[in-house]
Amino acid sequence: MAAEQSLQTPITATGDTRIHNIGYRSYDGPRLGRAYARRSLYSQSLRGSYGLGRSVKSKVLPMLLFVVMCVPAAIMVAVAVATKAKDLPVDYTRYAIIMQAVISLYVASQAPTSVSRDLRFKTVPLYFSRPIETADYVRAKFAALASALFILTAAPLLVLYVGALLAKLDFADQTKGFAQGLVSVALLSLLFAGIGLVIAAVTPRRGFGIAAVIAVLTISYGAVSTLQAIADVQGSGDSIAWLGLFSPVTLIDGVQSAFLGATSTFPGGVGPSDAEGAVYVLFTLGLIAACYGLLLRRYKKVGL
């Protein structure tokens, strides 16, 4: 609230001591409300995910990871154009799975940056003073990190798509593959953003948050992949699809191989069936909703 201080005639004066009547003028400008505050927090958080509006040091890692995500796609395009290939070396839906280590590192670095400082410096209650509420804060942070991840994962797909058109590959096939890839990375962005924020919101220590996110995303993928390989060697093929439910990366792999025409990276190249794919979709959506609910619960306590 804007305030203007004015000094009026002293009420009392005794020696060198004076007491002044300090008046304030009420703010009479437009009140933009919760929607504007929520959009502002979303915009600020999204920009912060790439270090925009912050120090040069804060820009280095996210921008470097963005370049690392796009460079392989550019190389593939160059090879396809130079060799006049009839198809791209990698499917659109496969690209994010191949680059999952880079995506996990981005989530691990930016999820704690988005929420840990507010927890560490105890500024969260200031957000909730007015007009923003707990749900507004959680939605803005969730949407901002998911949007940042979507930019990170969709940009190389756009590079592949433009390159495929320049190489004069079939327009209909490339457009269909590009659309399927966008659906896949959109789902991946929501899932990874939710998991990353839930883990980062547990501790105000940014370093602990980074280590925990990396551990959950990478160790779970390594463990599930190892168990799937063991099951394949032992002839327990039926358990391979169900094991994929326990890692975010294999979850997305299962969904896109069941419904988006992707080639599965599961051992043997056999993804989940339609019925198992439906379970994958429900489990993925349920996990995203659970992450949102846990964030709401966490910030209701923090905001007290």
Residue pLDDT, tens place only, 58-100: 899 999 999 999 999 999 999 999 988 889 999 999 999 999 9
Q: What is the pLDDT of residue 9?
A: 45
pLDDT digits (tens, 9 = 90+) for 261-295: 898 889 877 789 889 999 999 999 999 999 999 99
The torsion angle over the Cα atoms of residues 89, 76, 250 and 112, rounded to 10 degrees, is 180
* pTM for the structure as a whole: 0.88
- Rounded-to-integer distance, Cα 159 and Cα 214, Å: 27
Specify the 3-state DSSP secondary structure of 195. Answer: helix
Pair of tokens at residue 78: 């160059």
Residue 247 DSSP one-character state: S
pLDDT digits (tens, 9 = 90+) for 113-144: 999 888 887 888 777 776 788 899 999 999 99
